[in-house]
Amino acid sequence: MKKMMPREKLIKYGASRLSDAELLHLLIGSGNKQVSAEEISKQILRLLQDKGSSVSYNALLSIKGMGIAKTSEIIALFELGRRYLMPADRPVIANTDDAVLQLGSIRDKKQEHFVVLTLDGANRLISNAVVFQGTLNQSLVHPREIFAKAIEDRAASIIVAHNHPSGSVEPSSDDIEITRKLKDAGRLMGINVLEHIIVSKTAFRSI
């Protein structure tokens, strides 16, 4: 039996019946001599699963097989989706528990992920972005990477967080120093750093 192509499947059954990879395949169209559309779709899907709504133009362009034109088209579609299709009622982050609810995607990661939650003046969530992956230390996590997202979002305040794959939520000396540096930088920039949360698969702690 002939396999149904994504376009045929969408026409016959509707977009909801397509997998994420099939939807991306439709956006990409055809691949090239080096990389098939299916492989490009898989690479983009991995990027989306890792970065979520914070996926950038440069990150998408770095995928083998993606050119400037196609990258621009997909980024434009993502932005239109954010502007018109995302829920109008963004969650209010009133306390640590509310913030932890936004961190489910990193709690069971085997590698450390550093996340920034950007908030507006009413403490409504603007974005939830992974800004760093790998073993955290104070020399690697630089305030400019953290606050670049806050400035882009015109955020009034931020909450930073990272996971501990070990399961312990005790802050290290580097965790404490990173928090101090970010709070100092936030005061200079007029962007309040509300808290730094450490999460594991089963626990969390606010520094």
Cα four-point dihedral sign 51, 159, 104, 122: negative
HSE-CB at 114 with a 13 A cutoff on CA atoms is 23
pLDDT at 37 over 90: no
Please check whether residues 178 and 123 belong to one and the same domain. yes
Please check whether residues 174 and 78 belong to one and the same domain. no
Please check whether residues 65 and 156 belong to one and the same domain. no
Per-residue pLDDT, 118: 93
Considering the domain boundaries, does residue 49 fall inside one? Answer: yes
Per-residue pLDDT, 195: 95
Boundary of a domain, candidates 84, 108, 142 = 84
Please check whether residues 195 and 100 belong to one and the same domain. yes
Please check whether residues 24 and 73 belong to one and the same domain. yes
Relative to beta strand 157-163, strand 192-199 is parallel
Please check whether residues 72 and 130 belong to one and the same domain. no
Considering the domain boundaries, does residue 122 fall inside one? Answer: yes
Please check whether residues 195 and 175 belong to one and the same domain. yes
The predicted-structure confidence for 105-132, as pLDDT tens digits, reads as follows 899 898 889 999 999 888 889 889 888 8
Residue partners of 115: CB distance under 8 A and separation at least 6 = 103, 106, 128, 129, 130, 131, 160, 161, 162
Q: Tell how far CA 181 is from the center of its chain.
A: 23
The predicted-structure confidence for 165-180, as pLDDT tens digits, reads as follows 999 999 998 899 989 9
Boundary of a domain, candidates 45, 63, 84 = 84
Please check whether residues 105 and 77 belong to one and the same domain. no
The three-state secondary structure class of 200 is: coil
Q: CATH code at 107?
A: 3.40.140.10
Boundary of a domain, candidates 25, 53, 84 = 84
- Mean of per-residue pLDDT scores for the chain: 86
Please check whether residues 79 and 160 belong to one and the same domain. no
Please check whether residues 145 and 196 belong to one and the same domain. yes
Considering the domain boundaries, does residue 129 fall inside one? Answer: yes
What is the pTM for the complete model shown? 0.58
Q: Tell how far CA 2 is from the center of its chain.
A: 37
Strands (E) in the chain, as ranges, are: 113-119, 125-133, 157-163, 192-199, 204-206
Q: Which domain holds residue 66?
A: 6-84
Cα four-point dihedral sign 98, 104, 109, 115: negative
Considering the domain boundaries, does residue 24 fall inside one? Answer: yes
The predicted-structure confidence for 67-106, as pLDDT tens digits, reads as follows 999 999 999 988 787 666 655 578 889 999 999 999 998 9
The three-state secondary structure class of 192 is: strand
Please check whether residues 140 and 160 belong to one and the same domain. yes
CA–CA distances in Å: residue 31 to residues 38, 41, 57, 62, 109: 8, 10, 19, 15, 31
Considering the domain boundaries, does residue 10 fall inside one? Answer: yes
The three-state secondary structure class of 199 is: strand
Considering the domain boundaries, does residue 23 fall inside one? Answer: yes
Provide the number of structural domains found in the chain: 2
Considering the domain boundaries, does residue 1 fall inside one? Answer: no
Please check whether residues 101 and 193 belong to one and the same domain. yes
Burial class (CB in 10 A: 0-12, 13-18, 19+), 47: middle
